[in-house]
A = this chain, B = another copy of it.
Amino acid sequence: MNQLGESLRDRKKRRTRAALERATVRLAAEKGYDHVTVEEIAAEADVSVRTFFNYFVSKDEALIGADPETGPRMAERILAAPDEVTPFQAYRDSVLAEITDELNNARDLWLLRKEVLMQRPDLLVRAFANSAESEQLLANAVGRRAGLPESDLYPRLLVAAGSAAFRCAVTRWALDDSVALGDLVRDALDLFGTGLAHVPPHHHEGGSS
């Protein structure tokens, strides 16, 4: 292999993965998610069906383009943050970094995903179905960083909150993209940060308390 850059093999894998992801999203946007079979997707990406499943555990995952490197990368970032940064901040920053990266590299894909999610919001929940392993990884990183025992709820909650923030932000964004997705995710995370009980919604009306 080349000394620093990726090997040919690695480059090919990346390309195949990207092609499958793109094919999934494109076809789903065009014909509706469940009118697309894995067979079609594989054909469009010019690989066999079996290969599709070598890259993604499920059709759902391919739609979101879950990348196995994301978890480890975020964990690393969390552990690498300077000492004076709180675990919350470290996690928050790693999420935001990941998102802005993603949006910079694949904004077009997200626009297509938006089409799909507008019609089938439930797919987003389902897409997280296989993320248990990643969550565990991140929770461990947060826990180590915070010096908390294995059994503590906090790391798990923080990570779950991250997923939730992302999920909600995307759902909201798919409905109306007048606010940038990145900003929505940040807002969501910050609400979790300051506490949902403290939020004094800017509501006039209703409870008139």
Contact = CB atoms under 8 A, between A and B. Distances in A.
Interface of A: 83-84, 86-89, 121-122, 124-126, 128-133, 135-136, 144-149, 151-154, 156-158, 160-161, 163-165, 167-169, 171-172, 175-176, 184, 187-188, 191-199, 201, 203-209
Nearest to A123: B132
Contacts of A195: 192-198
A203 B129 contact: no
Contact of A201 (B125, B126, B147): B147
27 contacts: A83-B207, A84-B207, A87-B201, A88-B199, A121-B132, A125-B129, A125-B130, A125-B131, A125-B135, A146-B206, A147-B206, A151-B175, A151-B176, A153-B168, A153-B187, A154-B201, A156-B172, A157-B164, A157-B168, A157-B196, A160-B167, A161-B161, A161-B192, A163-B164, A194-B195, A195-B197, A195-B198
B197 A88 contact: yes
Q: Which one of A145, A167, A168, A169 has the highest number of Cβ atoms from chain B below 10 Å of its Cβ?
A: A168
Nearest to A125: B132
Contact of A146 (B145, B147, B163, B203): B203
B122 A133 contact: yes
Contacts of A83: 207-209
Contacts of A206: 144-147
Given A83-B209, A125-B129, A129-B126, A158 B203 contact: no
A192 B196 contact: yes
Given A145-B207, A157-B165, 10 more contacts: A83-B207, A122-B133, A128-B129, A154-B199, A156-B172, A160-B164, A160-B167, A192-B196, A195-B195, A195-B198
